[in-house]
């Protein structure tokens, strides 16, 4: 095995623990969520999936998930009875890791769909640092516009099974961050989907000044600082409004403008991001936003545990709660 320390061409230029390393020769080594699984019928959950290319020129795509029972029922029931809520899902990974095909995400999303009885579109956006911020945001939002237009009309699963009056944005970590920003952008005119609700799971929000557990956990505070400064080296640093939504909230232009009726914020008790998620929920409730907000905290678990351990009892509780959220027509 090559000794990287003795080979200048393979010396580490930047270590973005625990996700990736950048070497001085420009190569990037991703360290997590690197194993991929193909789409198809999952025998454990009876959920079927397929990949759809949205924009060939950029490679942006979606992995669509559908309960196999909905496919079987399509021949027997009228269209109006078999349409399901549509969940547009954005995976986590700090904007620089994972994909829709990652083993962890494919396994967890099969279980979410089975527990929720929804059609789910998991969006594969381009990653930093090869595609720096805001490219991941732009890719992910363009996918929403595609579903609101040509995609929703022409893609058979979306056309035949998705109820476009019951659309939810969802995501974990940086995917939850995206969902927040897109709910703001969708609160206005344009050929976009009307979003009924947003599910933010272990949301990746941050800030320059530590709060809560961050105050006494300098190691993890520096680690998360490093994540954001790597993908978005702006002059605003960790108080960039993309990562710190409370900057805009203090300016009076933030959370009260969310373009949806309902929000659920899910946090994990051992997650260094927990206090930001709780603060988001509290500020949303106090912002004057007219919708209904829910909060779920899982004690004794860490960041994205439901993706890493999708069969644990705590993950099943999260999936059940998400299913109730996606199917609440009140």
Q: Which residues are catalytic?
A: 173, 271, 303
Could you check whether the bond before residue 134 is cis, i.e. omega within 30 degrees of 0? yes
CB atoms near residue 165 (< 10 Å): 11
Q: Which residues pair with 237 in a beta bridge?
A: none
- Cα angle 201, 195, 157; round to 5: 90
Tokens of 66: 């559908």
CA distance 34 to 60: 18
Q: Which residues pair with 87 in a beta bridge?
A: 120, 168
CA distances (Å), 271 to each of 143, 275, 282, 303, 306, in order?
29, 8, 18, 5, 12
DSSP 3-state of 304:
coil
Tokens of 94: 């700090």
Nearest to 32, CA basis, from 105, 84, 137, 88: 105
For residue 16, what is the enclosing H or E element? Answer: strand 12-16
CB atoms near residue 90 (< 10 Å): 28
Tokens of 86: 């549509």
CA distance 316 to 91: 18
């Amino acid at each position: 095995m090559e000794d990287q320390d003795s080979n200048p061409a393979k010396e580490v230029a930047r270590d973005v623990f625990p996700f990736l390393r950048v070497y001085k020769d420009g190569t990037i080594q991703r360290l997590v969520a690197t194993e991929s699984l193909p789409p198809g019928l999952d025998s454990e959950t009876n959920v079927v999936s397929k990949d759809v290319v949205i924009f060939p020129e950029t490679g942006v795509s979606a992995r669509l998930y559908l309960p196999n029972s909905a496919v079987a029922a399509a021949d027997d029931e009228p269209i109006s009875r078999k349409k399901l809520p549509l969940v547009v899902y954005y995976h986590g990974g700090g904007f620089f890791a994972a994909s829709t095909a990652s083993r962890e995400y494919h396994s967890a999303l099969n279980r979410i769909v089975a527990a929720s009885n929804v059609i789910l579109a998991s969006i594969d956006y381009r990653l930093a640092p090869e595609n720096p911020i805001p490219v991941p945001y732009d890719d992910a939002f363009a996918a929403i516009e595609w579903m609101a237009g040509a995609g929703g009309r022409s893609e058979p699963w979306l056309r035949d099974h998705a109820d476009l009056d019951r659309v939810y944005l969802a995501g974990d970590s940086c995917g939850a961050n995206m969902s927040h920003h897109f709910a703001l952008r969708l609160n206005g005119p344009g050929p976009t989907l009307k979003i009924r609700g947003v599910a933010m799971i272990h949301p990746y929000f941050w800030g320059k000044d530590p709060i809560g557990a961050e105050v006494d956990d300098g190691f993890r505070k520096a680690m998360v600082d490093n994540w954001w400064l790597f993908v978005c080296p702006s002059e605003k640093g960790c108080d960039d409004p993309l990562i710190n939504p409370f900057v805009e909230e203090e300016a009076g232009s933030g959370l009260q403008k969310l373009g949806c009726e309902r929000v659920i914020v899910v946090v994990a008790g051992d997650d260094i991001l927990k206090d930001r998620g709780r603060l988001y929920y509290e500020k949303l409730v106090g912002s004057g936003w007219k919708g209904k907000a829910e909060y779920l905290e899982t004690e004794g678990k860490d960041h994205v545990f439901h993706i890493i351990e999708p069969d644990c009892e705590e993950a099943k509780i999260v999936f059940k709660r998400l299913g109730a959220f996606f199917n609440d027509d009140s």
